[in-house]
Amino acid sequence: QVQLQESGPGLVKPSQTLSLTCTVNGGSITKNFAWSWIRQPPGKGLEWMGVIGYDGSTYYSPSLKSRTSISRDISKNQFSLQLHHVTPEDTAVYFCARILNYELTPVDYAMDYWGKGTQVTVSS
């Protein structure tokens, strides 16, 4: 059973960097699958943000690419999100998830395991 757990600050000030970590238990982040960040602003649908593959390769949503960075710590079996220059519009519940079919385009990604999500509010 694979389990994912998001962690990080729940409140970030505008213009600062939002940093979250996803800890994966029950499966190695370096084998077979890819690992993604998704968010859901209040009252809106899910927004895919980016992915890091088992080989460390990354791909980002074009709309967030200029502000987003995803990295990993193999020794801790964790991957992390950094979102720079945040505004109140970045307020959302942030999820991490495992992707089954990294070889496809993001619109076709299937995600089988998800974290519970963590609320991040951008406010001064």
pLDDT digits (tens, 9 = 90+) for 15-59: 999 999 999 999 999 998 999 999 999 999 999 999 999 999 999
Q: Do the bridges between strand 34-40 and strand 3-7 make them parallel or antiparallel, or are there none, so unpaired?
A: unpaired
The tokens of 117 are what? 């999500």
Which pLDDT band, with edges at 50, 70 and 90, does 102 fall under?
A: confident
Q: Give CA 118 to chain center in angstroms.
A: 11
d(CA 109, CA 10): 27
Q: Give the chain's mean pLDDT.
A: 96
Note the pLDDT of residue 9.
96
CA distance 95 to 22: 9
Q: Which conformational region is residue 48 in: left (phi greater than 0), alpha (psi within -120 to 50 degrees), or beta?
A: beta
Q: Tell me the torsion sign for CA atoms 35, 6, 39, 67.
A: negative
Dihedral sign computed on CA atoms, order 30, 33, 34, 37: negative
Is residue 76 helix, strand or coil? helix
Q: How far apart are CA 76 and CA 28, in angstroms?
A: 10
